[in-house]
């Protein structure tokens, strides 16, 4: 028996139900609400200091860092810099684009999460000057610092795809989950229209580092599921265009996804990266080893290349060489998140130039490590905290099931519940976690409580 209740494309009917749904969920599934685990709260006595700490960016990483620093320091001058007032719960965008949640589900207010004692300036960092130890905002304000945490997030580079226009998401079969909550809802409208008609659907990812590398895979699985529910799977061809020779960065997960795609009849093109799109004629052009390849489509979800924000790229902070240099990711020790050339600088979240994971789960495990080292610097002690690259992805394989994929820098699977929640098994419990427990855990993380 199923009681699925997808919301209407505009989601309005579901918005006011959200709290009631959560209430019911807790009544019915309280035992799983905190699944996923979390580190202990810091109970150490606060360190007295007058240090000036600047946190560039008030997204997930910036807010979580501010919360933890505020709890562990007494008297520090902590400044958060971010112009955006809206906070986005980005892991929820996939659910919005699946028609299961309204756009409001992912929206919050930054102000609600700024900890007491932390000054939030609604300006963006326009210039990083780590040599002089100061940042300059887009309003021209110069802020000197003793310690800097770079948590700016990243930039979606839609302009790198010739012909792409985010204003047309939702029309002419164009979808893109990442662009924002309204765009995710518009993507659902385009997907829903496609699921009624059938045709060819294209999915894929860029060759740059990207946030939540599982998202394009999830979206492919969800599209397959919705087509089946509407009885139109036989009228549709789904093609996933992988940028490399694999479907996921972790080989064992890649192989599992390959098996599932084969089972679901999803065709895969390897070494295909979207370079141009003709929105009017519905033709996508892919960069391949043998030259450009054009594929017509009825529905496409575009995942743009992702890079560090311009202010970061134009500063001395990025890697100077190696695979993470081209897109300007901030150079950071992979275990401590500390900048090797500017030791008073840390990088956390999407902008951090570490090899794995640009996800909320990465943030959850990076922030306590960076904060511990920063506080140790102030206290004149030494921290042994180390980040092992842990990240996780509830990889949705259909509405109602997901695989809990957790891994580290070395592509090892690091399951939270070994022997209980199998990492490569499609499970209902994993879906339930994603549906009701992930957002509260995320919000608790922003407050430094998880």
**Which residue's CB is nearer to another protein, number 27 or number 45?**
27
CA nearest to 414, candidates 424, 403, 406: 406
CB of 38 to another protein, least distance (A): 4
Separation CA 112–CA 159 (nearest Å): 33
Minimal distance, residue 141 CB to another protein, in Å: 33
∠ at Cα 92 (39, 392), nearest 5°? Answer: 40
Phi, psi of 418 (to 5 degrees): -60, 135
Nearer Cβ to another protein (377/426): 426
- CB of residue 22 vs another protein: minimum separation in angstroms? 5
d(CA 317, CA 328): 8
383 is written with which tokens? 């921290």
Nearer to another protein, 306 or 395 (CB): 395
* Identity of the residue, 37 or 355, whose beta carbon is nearer to another protein in the bound complex: 37
Residue with smaller CB distance to another protein, 22 or 126: 22
Nearest-approach distance from CB 434 to another protein, in angstroms: 9
CB of 210 to another protein, least distance (A): 23
Nearer to another protein, 30 or 289 (CB): 30
What minimum distance in Å lies between the beta carbon of 404 and another protein?
Answer: 11
Q: How far apart are CA 12 and CA 17, in angstroms?
A: 9
Nearest to 154 by CA among 322, 359, 16, 344: 359
Please identify, using beta-carbon distances, which residue of 297 and 390 lies nearer to another protein: 390
Cα Rg of the chain, angstroms? 22
Answer whether 190's CB lies under 8 Å from 171's CB: yes
Helix axes 60-72, 438-446, angle to 10 degrees: 50
Tokens of 42: 């810091």
Taking the complex as a whole, the smallest distance from the CB of residue 328 to another protein amounts, in Å, to 30
Residue 288 and residue 291: Cα distance in Å, rounded?
Answer: 5
Least distance in Å: CB of 43 to another protein?
9
Which residues have a Cβ under 8 Å from the Cβ of 343 and sit 6 or more positions away? Answer: none
Q: Which is nearer to another protein, 59 or 99 (CB)?
A: 99
Half-sphere exposure of 369 toward its Cβ, with a 13 Å CA cutoff?
A: 23
How far is residue 205's CA from residue 352's CA, in Å, rounded to a whole number?
20
Side-chain-side CA neighbours of 173 within 13 Å: the count stands at 24
Closer by beta carbon to another protein, 33 or else 46: 33
Nearest distance, CB of residue 363 and another protein, angstroms: 14
State which residue, 331 or 406, has the beta carbon closest to another protein: 406
Contacts of 143 (CB under 8 A, 6+ apart): 52, 54, 79, 81, 134, 135, 136, 137
Q: Does residue 125 contact residue 56 with C-beta atoms inside 8 Å?
A: yes
Shorter beta-carbon distance to another protein: residue 5 or 48: 5
- Residue ranges of the alpha helices (H) in 175-250? 181-197, 215-229
Q: What's the CA gap between 450 and 368, in Å, rounded?
A: 10
Write down the least CB distance from residue 50 to another protein, Å. 30
Tell me whether residue 9 or residue 36 sits nearer to another protein (CB atom).
36
The DSSP-derived string for 283-302 is: EEEEE-TTS-EEEE-SEEE-
Task: Provide the 10 A C-beta neighbour count for residue 139.
Answer: 11
List contacts with another protein (CB under 8 A): 1-6, 19, 21-34, 36-41, 100, 365, 390, 392, 398-401, 406, 414, 416, 420-422, 425-429, 431-432, 435-437, 439-441, 443-444, 447, 449-450
Smallest distance from another protein to CB 181, Å:
18
Q: Is the dihedral of CA 179, 185, 190, 196 positive or negative?
A: positive
- Least Å distance, CB 174 to another protein, is 25
């Amino acid at each position: 028996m199923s009681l699925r209740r997808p919301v209407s494309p505009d989601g309005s009917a579901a918005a006011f139900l959200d709290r009631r749904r959560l209430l019911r969920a807790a009544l019915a599934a309280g035992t799983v609400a905190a699944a996923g685990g979390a580190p202990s709260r810091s109970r150490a006595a606060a360190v007295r200091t007058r240090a000036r700490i600047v946190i560039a960016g008030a997204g997930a990483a910036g807010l979580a860092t501010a919360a933890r620093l505020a709890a562990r320091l007494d008297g520090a001058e902590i400044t958060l810099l971010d112009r955006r007032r809206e906070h986005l719960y980005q892991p929820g965008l996939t659910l919005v684009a699946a028609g299961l949640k309204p756009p409001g589900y992912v929206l919050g207010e930054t102000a609600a999460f700024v900890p007491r004692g932390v000054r939030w300036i609604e300006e963006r960092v326009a210039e990083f000057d780590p040599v002089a130890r100061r940042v300059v905002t887009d309003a021209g304000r110069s802020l000197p610092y003793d310690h800097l945490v770079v948590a700016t997030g990243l930039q979606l580079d839609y302009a790198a795809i010739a012909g792409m226009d985010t204003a047309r998401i939702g029309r002419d079969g164009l979808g893109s989950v990442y662009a924002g909550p309204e765009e995710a809802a518009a993507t659902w409208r385009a997907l829903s229209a496609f699921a009624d008609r059938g045709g060819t659907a294209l999915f894929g990812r860029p060759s740059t580092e990207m946030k939540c590398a599982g998202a394009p895979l999830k979206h492919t699985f969800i599209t397959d599921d919705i087509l089946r529910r509407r009885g139109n799977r036989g009228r549709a061809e789904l093609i996933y265009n992988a940028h490399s020779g694999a479907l996921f960065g972790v080989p064992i997960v890649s192989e599992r996804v390959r098996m599932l795609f084969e089972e679901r009849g999803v065709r895969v093109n390897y070494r295909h990266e979207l370079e141009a799109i003709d929105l009017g004629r519905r033709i996508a052009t892919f960069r391949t080893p043998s030259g450009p390849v054009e594929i017509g489509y009825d529905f496409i979800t575009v995942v743009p290349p992702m890079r560090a924000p311009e202010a970061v790229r134009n500063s001395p902070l990025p890697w100077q060489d190696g695979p993470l240099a081209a897109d300007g990711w901030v150079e950071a020790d992979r275990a401590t998140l500390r900048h090797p050339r500017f030791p008073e600088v840390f990088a956390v979240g999407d902008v951090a130039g570490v090899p794995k994971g640009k996800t909320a789960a990465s943030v959850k495990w990076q922030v306590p490590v960076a904060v511990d080292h920063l506080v140790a610097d102030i206290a004149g002690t030494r921290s042994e905290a180390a980040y092992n690259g842990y990240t996780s992805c509830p990889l949705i394989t259909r509405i109602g099931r997901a695989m809990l994929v957790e891994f580290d820098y070395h592509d090892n699977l690091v399951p939270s519940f070994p022997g209980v929640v199998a990492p490569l098994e499609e499970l209902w419990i994993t879906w339930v976690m994603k549906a009701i427990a992930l957002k509260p855990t995320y919000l608790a993380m922003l407050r430094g409580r998880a």
